[in-house]
């Protein structure tokens, strides 16, 4: 008999349920008896021993459902080493609950922060298997994460809608796409939506180049311009500051986000009113796209196989079109950035897209 | 031979192209010779004589296209009686261009502001036929406007996406829906998306009632709450102010919009972090929904019939499931508000929705 | 305390769950104690006493879910007066179960056949309230049924997809839309999808007119033609036969459906290969569109109000934009056909659509 | 100056326009003067010298448009070596037109058949660059083709719709997915849609195993079963026949397609009525999904680069997440089948899917 803990951690995304269903179906298929402890609201559930016993039925019919049936939270992440308000040591508490329940393994579905914690728990002696969940596609060790393509679809649909209104009014429009540190989502949605300018965290922009592109388009008869801006887009000047000064600058900014700053700068330089649209959390929500459903199900199945074989300490990832197991200590603490010199950036430029660089 | 001017005015919306196609197809079908003068960017094109000659081919294949092939603008609207920067009298200019081109009729697709101008031009002796375009559904004289149902669809999809993430994180979420003066769009999207609280311009809210609903839900085991807030939602206190003081208050507000104020008030009272999502202009964009395609096509066909019969001075509207012609001076200058005592509001309350009143 | 039976009968459609949720939320909101008996798989559940006790939680979160949580079937319909295979009298069995459970009312969500049975049960002394469910929009006594607009959306999306491939290959395409007896669905989807020819049960077609339209289009430079054909479309010759002979003809036909016959006739007359697409049951499935969610919720709320007031023997319908109660004996046994001389048909013709008449 | 011929051949699919736009934007970006000859309706246009001169404007705004602005056809394919009805040698005609127009290169967007012809033209001395277009994803030499993911999305949406109706009625449903020779599309749509049984050309099925799965599901409390059947699914008995006998059997079959045969066999063995849905050509149509837009744009850009460098005789493909050039003679005449022993099939089985084997 296997006793399996499971939790979903960090910002939710599409296909978390599909992935968990994949794990559970694979275990069920093996014929081995299993008990599934679903910890509620991420690591918080493990810390405070808050869980539900789940069985196959609970995972039936959830392939297409957005969100996570276990709930999620960002707790504890950065404060993991600090005691909680009652003085409880969080890592200790998680270990105790794991061992008290005599779990064979803890399955963690999460992004970067969650993988740091997962690796820490591994170091503390817990058996861990993880699955790469994030709309940002920035997890180290895997070419793809689930949630990403669904988020691309939603952000693209948003740009598509803006396209018709931008063209009708001859306006400049900014669509702010999620992604504080990496630009995969913005780049793909921007390319798919036919954005004219794409501003990414990895390629600091020069506002003069942005304006130049808008004016070039006008000269060529295009009355409108669509700009896809990542939440973490950064100007060349700001990029030169120390991280500390960047943070200070952001805190003191009068703009709700960088998109509004870009809009204002364009207005000041050209007199053009610029509209900003922020799809925000919609990018994490709704039913997963078919790609993510298949992908997350496959990863879940492979996680199930690892559990059955007793191979722990791995993230199930995807590399060169093969599903692979990646040691957790390789994954934790690293981010998969977009290389400004990568082929896809070069191609985007050939397609006429400006990155403001 | 008929010489027909056509323009789309005000904020763009879905099915403008479908409606124009309806007019043109009907004229073509009649066998009568027509010349179509498409004025660019709304009344601006008429003021400055900026137009394109169009034929049937130009209207082929645009049934499903969002936006408007003629472009649109909000010019001149409020400043219609003021001369432009070169001292040009706008109304005079429009009249002159109309008569210089020897037009038989001007077809105007627009919302409230555009209908005021259309009626003014009618008073000045122009032959006018109009079509009711707006995502707000607030035009007097018609039960329905085209663009409305498409906007409901997009705003609902947005709430659907937010639902999964709200449920996963146990959070309070606000979705800000378009509508400064009337609440049709927010009400319908809110009901369709299963919002728990809906705040509308026509029903001033009491923030204490809003908080009470959130806490009631929590007591009943619902960890999350979705609030649909119209851009023009207003608190009971603010509603008591004079229009002038309301405007002053809005200008001095530190919040980008009322949604953020509601979010902050909830946070202050309950400690709950509230996320705000603003789909914004996406609500005007994209391909029209099937309902709007059929509806706009029908209205366009009826406008074509009026033109062929030489019946001018009307908006083609929809009342009690019949397409009717409504005298322009009945339409201009009035808004179709949502009645707080209407059946649909009562039903929404029976469904458990709070309006914060 | 109210004891309420509920069942969904006939072909399923979108927004059945939304409507039931509306009823139950309204009852819950009243504060009156209720017991809800959900009969499974339509009248079958009532005949055999197969039911589940349901509470508010069961109806939570189902606003957006397609299908019906109670299951549905077409039993007994035409055989209602015949005993079942064990000699059980079905009407008697339904009465007995109704009275044995001491129900105050039976809520029936159904279409034409289901309304006949509902009215029969009313005549037998049961308290009945019904809701108009059908993708066909053919129920007498109401301007609109829920499920209809969702089906229009799906059928239109299908035509949209076919449009691009038809245009690319310069082909004639038939999309077969649901509707054996009435053409509302085909007409609306056809108009929304830009079909060039629409064949309906209410307007018998002449294949020569169909061919003529295709050839006319070719002369005018359109290489492709889209035909929306209702399942029950009928040629002028067939329409002249007696119902009995029509049935015989259909049974002996070598074509799976009339679409294939139309395709073959076009091929024989023009040498053009015609492709047939049959979206079939997809038209009944998936999440209800926002229009249907709001509409079904409103009808459900009004049904709840009738129950609370003890007003029985009605279908909750929609007329002239008002929700009304319609006596069941007015509804039962009638079909709401499309009038070939109605305004919408005239408008469709002005838009250039041929009905082959 | 470069003189570039371009054509789209075979069944149309999504993102053909996006790919052509990618080529043309890249050429425009290079600054080199180009003349673009767009041959109409595939190779047919090249044979008969039927083309249009195109410029950048023609490729603007088509990123999101389904179909192909050049038109497509399956001509000549199998009859390429036969003279046409006027005795014209097709290969000769293509060569002559190519050289008469002094083309530098011919860009071909096509699938398997089109690649055979492309390679033949290469052997005849034409400069060729090709792009891998097909919803089947069966082209040799590339991990992915454009059109595939869009088709998966549509077929999945179809299964999603069927899911709600199947569950409501407790029925067995078959969705017939495109794919005569390979099962990639059916496998992915089936997995994404949560099909219980998937029948593929590469894995001959035993109808007894299919029935067994349906009954197993019923025993476990699932009243319904969804079966995704590829057009080219084949039973174990049929698979044992020679190709010739298989063809004969198909021609003599009373069923329109294998799906109907499977449905009938299930009915005969279990008495269950089985419904068949055939989305058909909708799978090729509509706006490309974001994945395909990005992917096709990238391939187009790389084709543009090859042209600028004068590297001819290649298909631009995608392998191990890198865009590569694949010699045409490696591609032509081969099919990329799904390996029944591949990981994805194993994973699908772990997820509980039966392949009837």
Q: pLDDT tens-digit profile of A198-242? A: 999 999 999 999 999 999 999 999 989 999 999 999 999 999 999
Kindly tell me if the per-residue pLDDT of D350 is higher than 80.
yes
Mean pLDDT of B269-293: 95
Q: Which residue among D16, D158, D286 sits closest to C160, beta carbon to beta carbon?
A: D286
Kindly tell me if the per-residue pLDDT of C77 is higher than 80.
no
Question: Quick one: C77 and C61 in the same domain?
Answer: yes
The CATH number of residue B249's host domain is 3.40.50.460
Any residues with CB less than 8 A from the CB of A143 and at least 6 apart, and which?
A: A317, A318, A319, A320, D321
Mean pLDDT of B11-29: 96
Q: Does residue B337 lie within any of the structural domains? A: no
Distance from CA of A13 to the nearest CA of B (A): 7
Q: Does residue C342 lie within any of the structural domains? A: no
Contact across the interface for A194 and D153, Cβ inside 8 Å: no
Contact across the interface for C322 and B343, Cβ inside 8 Å: yes
As a dihedral over the C-alpha atoms of residue B246, residue B250, residue B253, residue B257, rounded to 10 degrees, the angle is 130
Question: Quick one: C55 and C29 in the same domain?
Answer: yes
Give A72-122 pLDDT, tens digit per residue: 998 777 788 899 999 999 999 999 999 999 999 999 999 999 999 999 999
What is the pLDDT at residue A323? 93
Give A29-87 pLDDT, tens digit per residue: 999 999 999 999 999 999 999 999 999 999 999 999 999 999 999 877 778 889 999 99
**Chain D: which residues have CB within 8 Å of chain A?**
21-22, 25-26, 28-29, 63-64, 143, 149, 152-153, 156, 160, 188-189, 191-194, 289-291, 293-294, 297-298, 301-302, 304-305, 320-323, 343-344, 347, 349-352
What is the pLDDT at residue C74? 87
Q: Does residue B129 lie within any of the structural domains? A: yes
Kindly tell me if the per-residue pLDDT of B74 is higher than 90.
no
Q: Which residue among C194, C323, C352 sits closest to B29, beta carbon to beta carbon?
A: C352
Question: Quick one: B216 and B190 in the same domain?
Answer: yes
DSSP, res C335: B
What is the pLDDT at residue B152? 98
To which residue do tokens 């449009």 refer?
A: C163
Question: Quick one: A186 and A96 in the same domain?
Answer: no
Q: Does residue A153 lie within any of the structural domains? A: yes
Structural domains in chain B (count):
2
How many other C-beta atoms lie within 10 A of the C-beta of residue C82? 10
Contact across the interface for A63 and D194, Cβ inside 8 Å: yes
Contact across the interface for C191 and B350, Cβ inside 8 Å: no
Any residues with CB less than 8 A from the CB of A304 and at least 6 apart, and which?
A: A22, A23, A24, A25, A26, A27, A29, A30, D350
Give D148-205 pLDDT, tens digit per residue: 999 999 999 999 999 999 999 999 999 999 999 999 999 999 999 999 999 999 999 9
Q: Does residue C351 lie within any of the structural domains? A: no
Known active-site residue A160: no
- With beta carbons under 8 A apart, name residues in chain D contacting C73: 169
Q: Using omega within 30 degrees of 0 as the cis cutoff, is the peptide bond preceding A76 cis? A: yes
3-class secondary-structure state, position B140: coil
- With beta carbons under 8 A apart, name residues in chain A contacting D321: 143, 320-321
Mean pLDDT of D297-306: 98
Contact across the interface for D278 and C280, Cβ inside 8 Å: yes
Question: Taking CB atoms and an 8 Å cut-off, how many pairs form between chains C and D?
Answer: 123
As a dihedral over the C-alpha atoms of residue A43, residue A44, residue A48, residue A54, rounded to 10 degrees, the angle is -70
**Chain A: which residues have CB within 8 Å of chain D?**
21-22, 25-26, 28-29, 63-64, 143, 149, 152-153, 156, 160, 188-189, 191-194, 289-291, 293-294, 297-298, 301-302, 304-305, 320-323, 343-344, 347, 349-352
Closest residue of C to D260, CA-based? C256
Terminal-residue alpha carbon distance, chain D = 58
CA angle D118–D121–D122, rounded 5-degree value:
85
Question: Quick one: A130 and A75 in the same domain?
Answer: yes
- With beta carbons under 8 A apart, name residues in chain C contacting D158: 279, 282
- With beta carbons under 8 A apart, name residues in chain A contacting B111: none
Give B149-184 pLDDT, tens digit per residue: 999 999 999 999 999 999 999 999 999 999 999 999
Integer angstrom CA distances of residue C23 from B225, C72, C107: 22, 18, 9
Question: Quick one: C13 and C127 in the same domain?
Answer: yes
* Global pTM value: 0.97
Kindly tell me if the per-residue pLDDT of C321 is higher than 90.
no
Residue C32 structure tokens: 């009156």
DSSP, res A82: S
Residue D135 contacts residue D146 (beta carbons within 8 Å): no
Question: Quick one: C56 and C126 in the same domain?
Answer: yes
- With beta carbons under 8 A apart, name residues in chain B contacting C303: none
Kindly tell me if the per-residue pLDDT of C327 is higher than 90.
yes
3-class secondary-structure state, position C266: helix
Q: What are the strands of the beta sheet with D128-132, ordered from one edge?
A: D51-54, D34-39, D2-8, D105-110, D128-132, D314-319, D322-327
Integer angstrom CA distances of residue C145 from A144, A173, D125: 45, 40, 64
Question: Taking CB atoms and an 8 Å cut-off, how many pairs form between chains A and B?
Answer: 123
- With beta carbons under 8 A apart, name residues in chain B contacting A158: 279, 282
Question: Quick one: C18 and C138 in the same domain?
Answer: yes
Q: Using omega within 30 degrees of 0 as the cis cutoff, is the peptide bond preceding B76 cis? A: yes
Question: Quick one: B14 and B140 in the same domain?
Answer: yes
- What does pLDDT average to over chain D? 96
Question: Quick one: B100 and B23 in the same domain?
Answer: yes
Question: Quick one: A292 and A143 in the same domain?
Answer: yes
Q: At what angle do helices D343-350 and A290-309 cross, to 10 degrees?
A: 80
Q: Does residue D352 lie within any of the structural domains? A: no
Contact across the interface for C162 and D71, Cβ inside 8 Å: no
Contact across the interface for A170 and B41, Cβ inside 8 Å: yes
Give A267-320 pLDDT, tens digit per residue: 999 999 899 999 999 999 999 999 999 999 999 999 999 999 999 999 999 998
The CATH number of residue B7's host domain is 3.40.50.450
**Chain C: which residues have CB within 8 Å of chain D?**
8, 11-12, 14, 16, 41, 65-68, 71-73, 154, 157-158, 160-165, 167-170, 173, 223, 256, 275-286
Closest residue of C to B155, CA-based? C290
Question: Quick one: D121 and D47 in the same domain?
Answer: yes
Distance from CA of C176 to the nearest CA of D (A): 11
Domain boundary among C249, C284, C319: C284
Give D2-59 pLDDT, tens digit per residue: 999 999 999 999 999 999 999 999 999 999 999 999 999 999 999 999 999 999 999 9
Contact across the interface for D305 and A350, Cβ inside 8 Å: yes
Distance from CA of C150 to the nearest CA of D (A): 11
**Domain membership of residue B189 as a residue range:** 151-284
Q: Does residue D136 lie within any of the structural domains? A: yes
Catalytic residue among D136, D153, D196, D292: D136
To which residue do tokens 């969650």 refer?
A: A114
Residue B129 structure tokens: 């036929």
Q: Which residue among D192, D294, D298 sits closest to A293, beta carbon to beta carbon?
A: D192
DSSP, res C78: G
What is the value of ipTM here, to two decimals?
A: 0.96
Taking the C-alpha atoms of residue B273 and residue B174, their distance in angstroms, rounded to an integer, is: 11
Distance from CA of C347 to the nearest CA of B (A): 6
Sign of torsion over alpha carbons D181, D184, D185, D186: positive
3-class secondary-structure state, position B36: strand
Q: Does residue D340 lie within any of the structural domains? A: no
C236 sits in which H/E element:
helix C236-240
Any residues with CB less than 8 A from the CB of C175 and at least 6 apart, and which?
A: C155, C158, C159, C162, C189, C193, C195, C226, C227, C228, C229, C277, C278, C279
């Amino acid at each position: 008999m296997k006793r399996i803990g499971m939790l979903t951690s960090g910002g939710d995304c599409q296909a978390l349920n599909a992935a968990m269903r994949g794990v559970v179906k694979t275990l069920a298929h093996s014929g081995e008896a299993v008990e599934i402890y679903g910890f509620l609201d991420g690591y918080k559930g493990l810390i405070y021993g808050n869980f539900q016993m789940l069985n196959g039925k609970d995972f039936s019919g959830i392939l297409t459902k957005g969100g996570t049936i276990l709930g999620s939270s960002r707790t504890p992440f950065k404060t993991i080493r600090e005691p909680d308000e009652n003085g409880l040591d969080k890592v200790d508490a998680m270990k105790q609950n794991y061992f008290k329940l005599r779990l064979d393994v803890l399955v963690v579905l999460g992004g970067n922060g969650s993988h740091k914690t997962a690796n820490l728990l591994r170091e503390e002696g817990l058996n861990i298997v993880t699955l790469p969940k994030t709309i940002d596609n920035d997890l180290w060790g895997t070419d793809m994460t689930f949630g990403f393509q669904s988020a691309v679809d939603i952000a693209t649909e948003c740009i598509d809608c803006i396209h018709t209104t931008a063209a009708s009014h001859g306006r400049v429009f900014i669509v702010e796409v999620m992604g504080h540190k990496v630009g995969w989502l913005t780049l793909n949605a921007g390319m798919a939506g036919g954005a004219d300018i794409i501003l990414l965290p990895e390629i600091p922009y020069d506002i003069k180049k942005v304006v130049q592109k808008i004016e070039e388009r006008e000269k060529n008869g295009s009355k409108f311009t669509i700009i896809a801006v990542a939440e973490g887009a950064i100007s060349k000047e700001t990029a030169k500051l120390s991280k500390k000064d960047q943070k200070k600058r952001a805190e003191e900014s009068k703009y709700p986000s960088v998109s509004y700053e870009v809009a204002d700068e364009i207005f000041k330089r050209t007199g053009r009113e610029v509209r900003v649209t922020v799809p925000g959390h919609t990018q994490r929500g709704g039913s997963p796209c078919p790609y993510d459903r298949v992908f997350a199900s496959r990863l879940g199945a492979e996680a199930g196989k690892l559990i059955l074989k007793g191979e722990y300490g791995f993230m199930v990832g995807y590399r060169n079109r093969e599903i692979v197991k990646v040691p957790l200590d390789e994954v934790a603490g690293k981010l998969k950035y977009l290389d400004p010199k990568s082929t896809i950036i070069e191609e985007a430029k050939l397609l006429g897209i400006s990155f403001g660089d």
